[in-house]
């Protein structure tokens, strides 16, 4: 391993010469070392490590969640304290004693060096600063203020005709395919393009880049996970580089000829509102990815759950006023975001346990949303559940999902329109889950339409 002094000298060399070394260092500190630690912990029976490393458990995580819940509201794990408790998770998400930023000050010197050496703005993902996901106030406050006006309740309501037109156009295409008797993957044909087209319009990016955005978004989503294999991490880096390259060109176009969209406002902002180039990339990348990832998973999860509960699907078809509640229950029962974490900012106490500053708390949101102390009979899927909206699927506190209202709108409109157009739609074959830890949804969802 190079010494820090050697690294400073080598940074004067062309960046291309250091590219492979930086890539390896980047993967090692973000994925390689965590993978080794999680593998060892899983071998010792650590429930959280098993959950994060075993694809079978990620497919059906809820039994492991209940094992953890039985051990108390805050349980020790390989990653530090972990909670399945809704009240504890909500306290962490809402308290300023906890932040999203990682504290690397106590990490071994070699890891801190590798983190710095592997830093590559051209391949930065949504889980790296200055993304809003992983920065605390005052930076988070500034970024969120600049984009929040595009996601107010009034702005979301104004987007409903766009969502409805987009859904109807996609359903027209599906109807033509159904008439030809073709098999349909509902994820590729409907759940993905619906939110992608909506967010693309909101951000002023061309609809003909849809396939690119889906590929880039998938790469960004994978980087939310710990312990990616090297080849998958490398593929994600390549996709992220392509996305950053596209954004540079897009921002240049908008500076020459700005429109009325959100990104035009961001790239032309001046004074205190002006974002640095890296901040601009991070903000728009997050808006693009978050703008469709949750909805894709929500739509797919909903169709599978309703297919398993046809009586509830028929009730919704007969009374569409129930769709908002149904969307909340899907978000609670099979949460698109399963896990998140927070760093302890000051020495504190949580669930009767002392936590030192710098330690990390893991929140199993999917488990918190099935806390029996909050949701009676939580393993029962019930679209009429009175308090389903109390879920934490969109987080809570200052990091509450900015696009929650848009995701809800897309879920309600998308599912209602799909049901009205294809009342006999059924899942055909075995849906394929995404191989991800943080996000829960389907890669493929085969359906018959008639």
Per-residue confidence band for 309, with pLDDT thresholds at 50, 70 and 90: very high
pLDDT for res 118 = 86
Query: Is the distance from CB of 89 to CB of 200 less than 8 angstroms?
Result: no
Rounded Cα gap, residues 379 and 333, in angstroms:
7
Per-residue pLDDT tens over the stretch 122-144: 889 989 999 999 999 999 999 99
Beta bridge partners of 364: 339
Per-residue pLDDT tens over the stretch 247-291: 999 999 999 999 999 999 999 999 988 999 999 999 999 998 888
Torsion (CA) 394, 246, 226, 64 in degrees, nearest 10: 40
Where along the chain do its domains lie? 4-448
Q: Six-digit token pair at 6?
A: 């050697």
Per-residue confidence band for 98, with pLDDT thresholds at 50, 70 and 90: very high
Per-residue confidence band for 359, with pLDDT thresholds at 50, 70 and 90: very high
pLDDT for res 17 = 54
Q: The whole model's pTM is what? A: 0.93
Percent of the chain clearing pLDDT 90 (strictly above): 76
SS3 255: helix
For 186, phi then psi, to 5°, come to -65, -25
| Tokens 């699927």 found at | 393
Percent of the chain clearing pLDDT 70 (strictly above): 96
Query: What's the mean pLDDT in 166-193?
Result: 91
Report the relative pairing of strands 360-364 and 82-83 from DSSP bridges. parallel
pLDDT for res 8 = 37
Most confident of 22-31, 254-263, 284-293, 302-311: 302-311
Q: Is the peptide bond before 160 cis (omega within 30 degrees of 0)?
A: no
**Summary mean pLDDT of the chain:** 91
Above 60 in pLDDT, residue 304? yes
pLDDT for res 439 = 95
Per-residue confidence band for 191, with pLDDT thresholds at 50, 70 and 90: very high
Most confident of 54-58, 227-231, 416-420: 416-420
Per-residue confidence band for 427, with pLDDT thresholds at 50, 70 and 90: very high
* Of 287, 325, 278, nearest in space to 124 by CA: 278
* Of 307, 311, 287, nearest in space to 299 by CA: 307
SS3 426: strand
Per-residue pLDDT tens over the stretch 316-352: 999 999 999 999 999 999 999 999 999 999 999 999 9
pLDDT for res 183 = 77
What DSSP string runs through 70-119? TT-SSB--TTS-EE--HHHHHHHHH-TTEESS---TTS-HHHHHHHHHT-
Rounded Cα gap, residues 152 and 297, in angstroms:
23
Above 60 in pLDDT, residue 4? no
Per-residue confidence band for 9, with pLDDT thresholds at 50, 70 and 90: very low
pLDDT for res 213 = 83
pLDDT for res 18 = 61
pLDDT for res 16 = 52
What DSSP string runs through 280-347? HHHHHHHHHHHHHHHHHHHHHHHHHHHHH-HHHHHHHHH-GGGHHHHHHHHHHHT-SB-EEEEEE-SS
Above 60 in pLDDT, residue 13? no
Beta bridge partners of 361: 342
Above 80 in pLDDT, residue 7? no
Query: What's the mean pLDDT in 25-44?
Result: 93
Number of other residues whose CB lies within 10 A of the CB of residue 338: 23
User: What CATH class is the domain 4-448?
Assistant: mainly alpha
Above 60 in pLDDT, residue 394? yes
């Amino acid at each position: 391993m190079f010494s820090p002094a050697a690294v400073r000298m080598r940074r004067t060399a062309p960046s291309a010469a250091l590219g492979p070394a930086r890539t390896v260092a980047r993967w090692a500190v973000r994925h390689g070392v965590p993978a080794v630690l999680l593998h060892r912990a899983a071998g010792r029976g650590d429930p959280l490590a098993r959950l994060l490393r075993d694809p079978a458990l990620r497919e059906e995580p809820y039994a492991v969640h209940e094992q953890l819940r039985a051990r108390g509201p805050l349980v020790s794990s390989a990653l530090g304290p972990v909670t399945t408790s809704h009240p504890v998770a909500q306290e962490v998400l809402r308290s300023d004693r906890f932040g999203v930023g990682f504290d690397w000050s106590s990490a071994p010197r070699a890891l801190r060096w590798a983190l710095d050496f592997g830093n590559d703005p051209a391949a930065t993902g949504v889980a790296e600063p200055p993304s809003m996901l992983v920065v605390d106030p005052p930076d988070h406050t500034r970024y969120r203020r600049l984009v929040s006006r595009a996601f107010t309740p009034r702005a979301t309501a104004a987007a409903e005709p766009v969502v409805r037109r987009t859904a109807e156009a996609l359903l027209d295409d599906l109807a033509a395919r159904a008439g030809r008797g073709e098999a349909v993957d509902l994820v590729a044909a409907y759940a993905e393009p619906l939110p992608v087209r909506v967010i693309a319009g909101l951000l002023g990016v061309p609809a003909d880049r849809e396939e690119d955005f889906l590929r880039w978004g998938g790469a960004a989503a994978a980087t939310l996970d710990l312990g990616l294999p090297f080849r998958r991490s490398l593929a994600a880096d390549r996709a992220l580089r392509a996305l950053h390259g596209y954004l540079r060109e897009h921002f240049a176009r908008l500076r020459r000829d700005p429109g009325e969209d959100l990104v035009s406002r961001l790239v032309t902002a001046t004074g205190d509102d002006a974002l640095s180039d890296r901040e601009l990339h991070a903000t728009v990348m997050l808006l693009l990815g978050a703008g469709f990832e949750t909805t894709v998973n929500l739509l797919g999860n909903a169709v599978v759950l309703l297919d398993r509960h046809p009586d509830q699907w028929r009730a919704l078809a007969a009374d569409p006023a129930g769709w908002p509640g149904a969307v909340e229950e899907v978000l609670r029962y099979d949460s698109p975001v399963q896990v998140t974490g927070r760093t302890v900012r000051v020495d504190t106490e949580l669930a009767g346990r002392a936590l030192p500053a710098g330690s990390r708390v893991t929140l199993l949101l999917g488990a918190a949303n099935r806390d029996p102390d909050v949701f009676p009979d939580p393993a029962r899927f019930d679209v009429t559940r009175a308090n389903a909206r109390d879920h934490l699927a969109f987080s809570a506190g200052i990091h509450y999902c900015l696009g929650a209202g848009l995701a809800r709108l897309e879920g309600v409109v998308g599912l209602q329109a799909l049901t009205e157009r294809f009342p006999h739609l059924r899942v055909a074959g075995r849906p394929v889950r995404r191989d991800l830890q943080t996000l829960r949804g389907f890669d493929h969802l085969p359906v018959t339409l008639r």
